[in-house]
Amino acid sequence: MRALVYKGPGARMLEERPKPAMQQAGDAIVRLTRTTICGTDLHILKGDVPSCRPGTILGHEGVGIIEAVGGAVSGFRPGNHVLISCITSCGRCEYCRKGMYSHCVDGGWILGNRIDGTQAEYVRIPHADFSLHHIPAGADEEALTMLSDILPTGFECGVLNGKVQPGCSVAIVGSGPIGLAALMTAQFFAPAVIVMIDPDKHRLEIARRFGASHVLSPEEGTVAQVKSLTEGRGADVVIEAVGIPASFELCEELVAPGGTIANVGVHGTKVDLHLERLWSHNITITTRLVDTVTTPQLLKAVTAHKLEPASLVTHRFRLEEMDKAYDTFGRAAETHAMKVIIEV
């Protein structure tokens, strides 16, 4: 089969690899129909994720058709149309019983990291009963590909961890795919103000179309403007959706007393925590790796047309065009790429 293989920092190659085989009775083999590229894949290619070894097939998102299942799989059978979760969960360990699937002792984020992933024609899914979701007939595959990772990430790590509530004020730092996913799902809770902050004017235009009440560039006196929109207090919920020191430190300036900073971004370097200013402000700082516990809920919202994640898709490619797809996604400021769909 064809697969995109990580060859070490800065290197990837589309090559022929053996089709995956069953290793455990709980496995399923899925033939991919669509996959996508995540910002985390770019982190891997930069060498930021040492757990991903050279020779690993990249990718942790996608939809497809089950080709085979192991003898212990009871909820799926060959021919089923399925959504692949970016998080693999056994459903039985202590962490899984707490709903912390990202910390599953025999799973977590392993696809495209510690085991071969989804940027290929076929993928092996361990613990299939807990790591796959049935796709309703007639559902939009492009929309549901967004449910593998970014929609539950924005919702769980940003909106739910941030405790967005009706009438509150929300500031989202970063208007990329994750920030926009947080914007889309924050509206479930009817906040009074949602401010999107990003230096990219094009992304801010998208954010306004997606429901942001205000859009700001960091160089425009962001802190003062957010305070002017919130009666001088700052934002009740600040969602960090970039993953660099400057964006997190901006969140520290934006948060209101009693507010929450919900970190979503992947941070590769240390960040200063300004406790000399915040020690008395009753703030909460949350961190999280997506658990995908909300995927069934989001799946229902998408199929009921209450959520339109397909609007995040800006570019489409075939599997043989993976180099072009990565180049387009990696130069998003120039190409205006948000999410790319790879047809397999």
Read off the pLDDT of residues 103-146 as tens digits, 9 standing for 90 and up.
Answer: 999 999 999 999 999 999 999 999 999 999 999 998 999 999 99
Whole-number Å distance between alpha carbons of 313 and 305:
16
Which two tokens mark 41? 């894949």
Would you place residue 289 in the very low, low, confident or very high pLDDT band (cuts 50, 70, 90)? Answer: very high
Whether pLDDT at 252 is above 90:
yes
For the segment 56-111, what is each residue's pLDDT rounded down to a tens digit?
999 999 999 999 999 999 999 999 999 999 999 999 999 999 999 999 999 999 99
Please state, in angstroms and rounded to a whole number, the distance separating the CA atoms of residues 257 and 278: 9
Q: What is the C-alpha separation between 102 and 157, in angstroms, rounded?
A: 12
Q: How confident is the model at residue 279 (pLDDT cuts 50, 70, 90)?
A: very high
**pLDDT above 90: residue 219:** no
Report the Cα–Cα distance between both ends of the chain, in Å, rounded: 11
pLDDT band at 201 (very low <50, low <70, confident <90, very high): very high
Residue with tokens 């942790």: 60
Q: What is the pLDDT of residue 230?
A: 97
How many residues belong to the chain?
A: 344
Per-residue confidence (pLDDT) for residue 338, from 0 to 100: 95
In CATH terms, the fold of domain 151-286 is Rossmann fold (3.40.50)
Give me the torsion for CA of 220, 223, 229, 230, rounded to 10°.
180
If we measure between CA atoms, which residue out of 279, 283, 271, 187 comes closest to residue 236? 283
Q: Where are the domains of the chain?
A: 2-148+291-343, 151-286
Reduced to 3 states (helix: H, G, I; strand: E, B; else coil), residue 89 is coil
pLDDT at 202: 94
* The predicted structure's pLDDT at residue 308: 93
* Pair 201, 175: CB distance under 8 Å: no
Is residue 269 predicted with pLDDT exceeding 90? Answer: no
Q: 32 falls in which pLDDT band (50, 70, 90)?
A: very high
Residue 230 CA to residue 242 CA, distance in Å, equals 23
175 falls in which pLDDT band (50, 70, 90)?
Answer: very high
pLDDT of residue 300: 95
pLDDT cut 90: percent of the chain above it: 95
pTM (predicted TM-score)? 0.95
Residue 51: predicted pLDDT: 95
Provide the mean pLDDT of the chain. 96
SS3 94: helix
Compute CA distances 234 → 209, 218, 230, 340, whole Å.
24, 15, 6, 35
pLDDT for 102 equals 98
What value does the mean pLDDT take over residues 206-219? 94
Q: At what angle do helices 177-186 and 201-209 cross, to 10 degrees?
A: 20
Give the closest residue to 58 by CA, choosing from 24, 80, 75, 35.
35
**Class of the CATH-defined domain 2-148+291-343:** alpha beta
pLDDT at 220 over 80: no
DSSP state of 144: H
User: How much is the average pLDDT of 261-272?
Assistant: 93
Q: What is the pLDDT of residue 211?
A: 97
Which pLDDT score is estimated for 218? 86
